[in-house]
Structure 1
Amino acid sequence: MTDKQTTDTETTDKETTDKENPTDTENTNFLYPFIDAEETDAVALLTDLAESARGKAAESARLQRASLDEYATQIEAAGQQMAQRFLRGGRLYTFGNGGSSTDAATLASLFSRPALGRPLAAWSLAADTSVVTALGNDVGFELIFSRQIIAHSKSVDIAVALSTSGNSDDLMTAIVEAKRRGLLTIGFAGHDGGRMAVDESFDYCFTVRSQSIHRIQESHAVVGYRLWSVVQEHMARRSSQPRAAASGTGATR
């Protein structure tokens, strides 16, 4: 074995070891700074834990308020357009990867099975594992959502993609397809928004400006709830207009 081959092998082994056994060079201090301090005092440890939880809660609340304030106008406009599409028989399709897949399923459930308000047609495209795994195996992972958009959607429908990075290939492929077919396209992104923030295939993109995946997903949930609230408000208003008009006509006569 040559010196170069030996060096390459050692480098590869080191990279593998680093991945399998992460060291403190990955630095988790920003999450739990008291862990590396190796505290043995139970009272001090509990105090640090409580302070850490309060700090995370405060940052989450601040970020949620900031996101709602920044996108108030866009959320109102998007919700109004969604309501119009639902009233015309439109359906909502949500999708994401990993934790964002769970968030997409939660958002779809909020629309389809709300505790209050009007149930609306909504599906998470990651919910059927047999479909997702079949598409991933047969045609490629980047097409698992776009193929479902092709199979099920109509131009009156709505597509919502959720990603903390804003750079997922399978989401971008699906949104481009959805836009081509006339769907209303909405993105939930994080960090600087990535590709989702600049791609013209999105009619709306709500970017939560944080480096923390946890805080991004918490704010995504709040923005999603506000979007649902706007849809419900507009649909209730539209539904009451014919009755009000009829009532007014009757009173005049």
Structure 2
Amino acid sequence: MDSSRADLDSLYPFLSGAAGDLDAVLDEVAQSTKDKAREISAVREEVRRRDGDRLRACATAMAERFATGGRLLSFGNGGSSTDAQDLASLFLHPGTGARPLPAIGLTSDIAVVTALSNDIGFDVVFARQIAAFGTAGDIAVGLSTSGNSPNLVAAFDEAAARGLLTVGIAGGEGGRMAESKSVDFLFVVPSPSVHRIQEAQTTLYHALWELTLRALRD
């Protein structure tokens, strides 16, 4: 068996043993889906149990910043960059009936990202933008599945030095973000699976948005 087939079998074992039996394949797919749904539900519940109070405290701190004119700056790499842009859009364009709040996704301007990466280095791609845009009273939110991204650690250091409220959303055991003294609030999704981490992180930042809006109304 070649390595690509072995990799496929490890990810989707239900596609190998019963390839000629459609009902068996469908049963395996259904069971796999149920198992993943139970897994992500358990991870989300653990995050809620462990971090519920801290989420409310973080939302209150964010609401205080927004109430005095602060903005949210969000950032991440790869799939986390998409989540960072979604987070910024959630605050900026929340939909009918919800209060829009100022937010900027630092990966949205590809010209800026590529210029900084090419001319200076990828490790400073977020820190330089925070240095340019961030002011005391703003909020910096960085997302990473591992917590080890050097450019996030550098961004948090820059943000903390400038007086921004810093919020980290990581996975696993938190990586280098858990060791940083520059992160005011760190939320770690306790899972070894990148897929479950990203799914739970999406739930986490939506909850943070809702709690922030509630704090602003109170």
Q: Same fold (TM over 0.5)?
A: yes
Consecutive unaligned residues of structure 2, counting only runs of 5 or more, are: none
State which of 177, 180, 183 in structure 2 corresponds to 1:196: 177
Computing the radius of gyration over CA atoms, which structure comes out larger, 1 or 2?
Answer: 1
State which of 220, 224, 231 in structure 1 corresponds to 2:205: 224
Residue in structure 2 matched with residue 82 of structure 1 by the alignment: 62
Query: 1:14-57, CA deviations, whole angstroms, 9 ceiling, x for partnerless residues?
Result: xxxxxxx844565752x322134252101100111111111111
Secondary structure of the structure 1 residue equivalent to 2:70: coil
Q: Check if 1:214 corresponds to 2:199.
A: no
Residue in structure 2 matched with residue 165 of structure 1 by the alignment: 146
Residue in structure 2 matched with residue 11 of structure 1 by the alignment: none
Residue in structure 1 matched with residue 36 of structure 2 by the alignment: 56
Residue in structure 2 matched with residue 154 of structure 1 by the alignment: 135
Secondary structure of the structure 2 residue equivalent to 1:71: helix
Residue in structure 1 matched with residue 50 of structure 2 by the alignment: 70
| CA shift in 2, pair 1:70/1:184, >3 Å | same
Counterpart residue type for residue 86 of structure 1? F
State which of 34, 38, 60 in structure 1 corresponds to 2:14: 34
1: distance between equivalents of 2:120 and 2:193? 33
Residue in structure 2 matched with residue 113 of structure 1 by the alignment: 93
Identity of aligned residues (%): 45
Residue in structure 2 matched with residue 94 of structure 1 by the alignment: 74
Query: 1:48-92, CA deviations, whole angstroms, 9 ceiling, x for partnerless residues?
Result: 111111111111111112112210111011100100000000000
2: distance between equivalents of 1:236 and 1:22? 56
1: distance between equivalents of 2:212 and 2:9? 40
* Contact in 1 for aligned 2:18/2:24 (Cα 8 Å): no
How many residue pairs end up in the alignment?
216
Residue in structure 2 matched with residue 143 of structure 1 by the alignment: 124
Normalised TM-score (structure 1) = 0.82
State which of 105, 126, 135 in structure 2 corresponds to 1:124: 105
Residue in structure 1 matched with residue 25 of structure 2 by the alignment: 45
Secondary structure of the structure 1 residue equivalent to 2:94: coil
Query: 1:111-157, CA deviations, whole angstroms, 9 ceiling, x for partnerless residues?
Result: 11102421000011001101100110011011110000000011100
Residue in structure 1 matched with residue 84 of structure 2 by the alignment: 104
2: distance between equivalents of 1:181 and 1:217? 29
